[in-house]
Structure 1
């Protein structure tokens, strides 16, 4: 763990779900600034997740999403391993496991145990990645900014798979990544920075998120630097309709692919 001399004594705490993107973000920030601790929540069970999604979208949509995952997303992911490995190598991404001596496990980011940990750690900035929606009581439990890297251009592409949905809508001008402040909404916090990605013909649904993570890393580092220096500046939101996107169904994916060629 290293630290930038001008920020010596400042504490960066990550609040995250388990997964490769969390590992990559941790090591990138740790190499740049030094991460004090990372609080990792236990993910929502698949059964509970599907039930909640069905309550919002209906079982017909959820079953279509499951069919997409089984018939398309899974095979694409398995078939894209070489491409993903090449992108990680080219961008020197470190996806090793988190160091256990700096990792704190909690049942949920919204559990009282998480609030207690945050207050005890007294961070100067909290970096969020891959968690469930964070309750306002958590966001106000410590007097520091919470930053998130979102795989989409907010507020046009909130929710999930923002890069894919932009391309599927013939909206390459908004296919990218955002770094924003976290509020109690879903990807509705103030925008700090945004960048576009330009996937190649060898890319697909499984590789777009890694492109977004790569493009977002320097933005996140700049945002952390600004947060530690107390000079975060927000930028105007792009014009357009704010929309919350979900996972594509199998029918949606094939209709989009026939119409646009987007994989």
Structure 2
């Protein structure tokens, strides 16, 4: 662990779901500041996730999303491995597993055990990545900011796959990433910083999130630095309609591909 002398004694806690983006984000922050602890929640089961999604969107849409995953995003992910490796190498991203001696497992970010652990750790900033929606009781359990990197320009592209949906909507001017404070809504917290990405011919649905993470990491580091110094400043939200986006269906992806070439 290496920590900036400027923030010696300050505690950064990462509150996250398991996954490669969490690994990359941890190592980037740890090299810059030193991360005190990582609290990792157990993901919602696939069965429960699909059931909840069907209650909101209906089974026809969910079945279309499953078809997209099986027939399009899965194969795209496999053929895009060389591009993903290229991006990680070019930007010196470390995707090694989290250190076991600093990782704490909880059943959910909203479980009493998570609140108890946060209060015990008493962090100066909590960095969030890839968790379920965090309840207000958790956000108010410790007197520090919760900061998240969102793969989309909020509030226009809340939810998931914000980069893809911006391109699918011919809205490259809002294809990017946001760093924001976390509130009890879905990607509705105050905006700290935003940046755009410019996907190339080798990029597609499965590489956009990594491009967004690469663009977001410098913003996140600045936000953490400001949080530790107590100098976070919020910026106005971009103009436009706030909308919550979900996973594309097979039919939506094919229609967007035929209409404007979005991959």
TM-score category (smaller protein)? over 0.9
Which residue number corresponds to residue 69 of structure 1?
69
CA root-mean-square deviation: 0.2
3-state DSSP of counterpart to 1:69: helix
Aligned to 1:152, what secondary structure does the other structure show? coil
1:13: how far off?
0.1
- 1:228 aligned residue: 228
Q: Secondary structure at the residue paired with 2:222?
A: helix
Q: Quote how far apart the aligned CAs of 1:141 are.
A: 0.1
Q: Cα deviations across residues 115-171 of structure 1 (Å, max 9, x unaligned)?
A: 000000000000000000000000000000000000000000000000000000000
Tell me the equivalent position of 1:26: 26
For residues 70 and 3 of structure 2, the distance between their equivalents in structure 1, rounded to whole angstroms, comes to 43
Residue 249 of structure 2: aligned partner: 249
Cα deviation code 1:190-222 (max 9, x no counterpart): 000000000001100000000000000000000
1:119-130 alignment runs, 5 A limit: 119-130=119-130
Aligned to 1:198: 198
Question: Structure 2: how far apart are the matches of 1:76 and 1:111?
Answer: 36
* Residue of structure 2 in register with 1:239 after alignment: 239
- Structure 2 unaligned segments of length 5 or more: list them: none
Q: Secondary structure at the match of 2:177?
A: strand
Instruction: Please give the alpha-carbon distance, in whole angstroms, between the structure 2 residues aligned to 1:260 and 1:96.
Output: 37
Deviation at 1:109, TM superposition (A): 0.1
In 2, the alpha carbon distance for the partners of 1:7 and 1:87 equals 30
SS in structure 2 at match of 1:28: helix
Residue in 1 that maps onto 2:85? 85
State the distance in 2 between where 1:6 and 1:28 align. 17
The size of the alignment, in residue pairs, is: 263
Q: Deviation digits for residues 8-37 of structure 1, max 9, x if unmatched?
A: 000000000000000000000000000000
Q: Which residue of 2 aligns with 1:136?
A: 136
Aligned to 2:108: 108
CA distance in 2, matches of 1:247, 1:30: 31
In structure 1, distance between residues paired with 2:180 and 2:202 = 29
Structure 2 partner of 1:56 = 56
Structure 1 runs of 4+ aligned residues shifted over 3 Å read none
2:96 aligned partner: 96
**SS of residue paired to 1:40:** strand
SS at match of 2:184: coil
Following TM superposition, by how much is the alpha carbon of 1:49 offset from its aligned partner in structure 2, in angstroms? 0.1
TM-score of the two chains, using structure 1 as the length reference: 1.00
Shift of 1:6: 1.2
CA distance in 2, matches of 1:90, 1:143: 38
Q: Distance in 2 between matches of 1:17 and 1:6?
A: 29
Q: Deviations over 1:198-251 (max 9, x none)?
A: 000110000000000000000000000000000000000000000000000000
